[in-house]
Amino acid sequence: MLKASPKVMRNRWPGARSTSGRALGSALLCSLFGVLLTGCFLISGPVESTDNTPDGGNVYVGFVSADGEEIRTVTTNFPNQTLEVTVFAQNQRGQMRLEIMDVQNSVSLSVEGQAEEQARVATVRTNAAGEFRYRVRATGAQRGSFQILYQPTDG
């Protein structure tokens, strides 16, 4: 009966790693991939439009599917002013959240997309360039849309 020495069995394939080494490598690769996707927003079938008038404006985004997170900027004709912002959000599957952010990057308004269209109203102050920002977060969102309407407040 032939017996292989433990040294021969361990080095059976040069450059081969142990099972635990492969698992560690896979976990490290997955973690790195997850870090790279942070702040990434993937959208398929996008339909986007923006309208900016002297009285206000709107942003519309429709999509087939969306995943991830992104902060976007809306440029208005209203520097250093308070705007009334109305947000509509709807999606058939998955999760979607729209957050309007103030000049200090705090959330002023949050709307969760659902099968029935959701609407919320708030005020937000623009910066010196007339901009405000919003964050869109989606996890497996399908057949959805959101719209942001804005106009200066009276006063």
Question: Given a cut of 50, is residue 129 above it in pLDDT?
Answer: yes
Whether the per-residue pLDDT at 10 is higher than 70: the answer is no
Angle made by CA atoms 49, 55, 61, in degrees to the nearest 5: 15
Tell me what percent of the residues of the chain surpass a pLDDT of 70: 74
pLDDT tens for residues 75-101? Answer: 999 999 999 999 999 999 999 999 999
> How do residues 53-62 score in pLDDT, each as one tens digit?
999 999 999 9
Count Cα neighbours of 68 within 13 Å in the Cβ-side half-sphere: 16
Q: Which residues of 113-127 are buried (b: 16+ CB within 10 A; e: fewer)?
A: beeeebeeebebebe
43 vs 143, which has greater pLDDT? Answer: 143
116 — phi, psi (to 5°)?
Answer: -90, 135
> What size, in residues, is the chain?
155
